[in-house]
A and B are shown apart, each in its own frame.
Chain A
């Protein structure tokens, strides 16, 4: 079984995220790492491979060439190789353009399963998997909390606001897992030592036969016109609890006839 996992390098989760006022894009100059949600997808892929007894796990990403550094984490966890699409002309790609490039890179791999995380922690689009599935003409199941691959098809439990959907689909399929599906493993020290030696391929848009005008800013139909701070929350009241906090809160609500 061949499993492709789409992974993204994102700015580190810790510090407040910033937008770059010049490019109107996310500021990616600080520390970066693999999108946490994608670790759940990598873990799912590794377990599928372990259960099947053989197979290959390929990490696929689009991003700057240094994104290979972040992808090494997935290789350290146990993925077999990495494919990174990197090209100046891809800078500024929106979701639609990104899906075009990823779909091309995935077609080249001919995987049985394409895994996604639920969302990227920077863009928070949570849509790329559906766009990619559409381009690949594959069925897609999202928000997967449980997965069963027996019998040559996939059967999944999809988390919804009201409960679970049980969905099955033939392979090949696109599967976007939720972060509730598993606890991603830590890369072992042995895995870390092997990661750098695993095959890591960098592809340009030309390698994939994607024209420069269908990616990047040129290939994007959305434009960001302006950035602004969220509106202030207006008048706020902070009550320090010196023992009479509850009383003060009640007084406040009573005063406004809210209780």
Chain B
């Protein structure tokens, strides 16, 4: 049986997030984008409404729902602000979720309830100045010392780096095995030797903070080792499939916001004595945009459904992230085009959508890396 229907509760959630995003997120965007500052005050508000704990069990203050439901939240948030959504996703999908999945009971107790309530913010640091796609090529080391570890290395492009209360940090504990020798540490922000050296200026997603971190003789106790054992990295990387599914929905949502603005504009703006929407070339463009968005969403929600029902979805998650990124770039570009000169002016939101869309093919595994994964999945 094939069904595309969302449940009543999911529809109600969509409505609630839509209203919340309009009332509480939209007014923050202008300042946040201009000042390149993530509005941290949104985090406890999201926590209070249960929106940071959608997929987490009730014992940690979550709601215990599925990935599909979480995707609805991501979609409605991203239609309003991709940047703010990126920071929220990094916190929930990349920092809190791995703790839930691999953390010890003590780690879950310590970090999950407060993360889900929005009292603390998490970050996740794999990428380094000299390695990104080739994650196993990272250089940060964690050497045993005094019953704990001492971290040394640099991390780059870390979302929430400037505002986090804790950060998951990937570092080699065993240099002799490439990839397998990488462990993950939960490092509290106030640990001596954990420095935020630079906040990065970005082309898009400006309302999300991205930073360079330095770990210099940063001593952490043994209890900070994710799951209490070394070598958690490879399993963690596999778990990050959930983030790819979110990206599929998020990028499609950026495209949809741009499409909606262009559709509206095309009906209002006149040229040569009629509204733009009366020109077949513009109509075909909008029809094409709408079709691509629809297929991107269908693929992303299929991946979410596979994930939610415990089915394998490595291929579909990568396809969703890859395809939605293409759609987002295409649709936002055409949306700017339909706006003509106004599309290039900051007063109109389409130029932001265009800049925001470009990140989709880069972060959390570039489009090329997604294609490598898809290639492997289709038996090449």
Contact = CB atoms under 8 A, between A and B. Distances in A.
B174 to A, nearest CB: 42
Interface string A174-191: 000000000000111110
Contacts of B8: 69, 72, 196
A189 B9 CA distance: 9
Interface string B40-55: 0000000011110010
Contact of A186 (B9, B19, B54, B63): B19
Nearest to B10: A192
Contacts of B12: 72-73, 76, 187, 192, 195
A186, A189, A196 interface centre (most CB from chain B within 10 Å): A189
Contacts of B15: 33, 73
B344 to A, nearest CB: 21
A249 interface: no
B235 interface: no
A195 B65 CA distance: 15
Interface range on chain A (Cβ under 8 Å from partner) = 10 to 19
Binding site secondary structure of chain A: helix
Contacts of B65: 189, 193
B43 to A, nearest CB: 15
Contacts of A73: 12, 15
A72, A76, A192 interface centre (most CB from chain B within 10 Å): A192
A149 B265 CA distance: 50
Contacts of B240: none
Nearest to A77: B16
A196 B9 contact: yes
Contacts of B13: 189, 192
A14 to B, nearest CB: 11
A188 B9 contact: no
Interface of A: 33, 69, 72-73, 76, 186-190, 192-193, 195-196
19 contacts: A33-B15, A69-B8, A73-B12, A187-B16, A188-B49, A188-B50, A189-B13, A189-B16, A189-B49, A189-B51, A190-B63, A192-B12, A192-B13, A192-B16, A193-B9, A193-B65, A195-B12, A196-B8, A196-B9
Given A76-B16, A189-B50, A192-B9, 4 more contacts: A73-B15, A76-B12, A192-B13, A196-B9
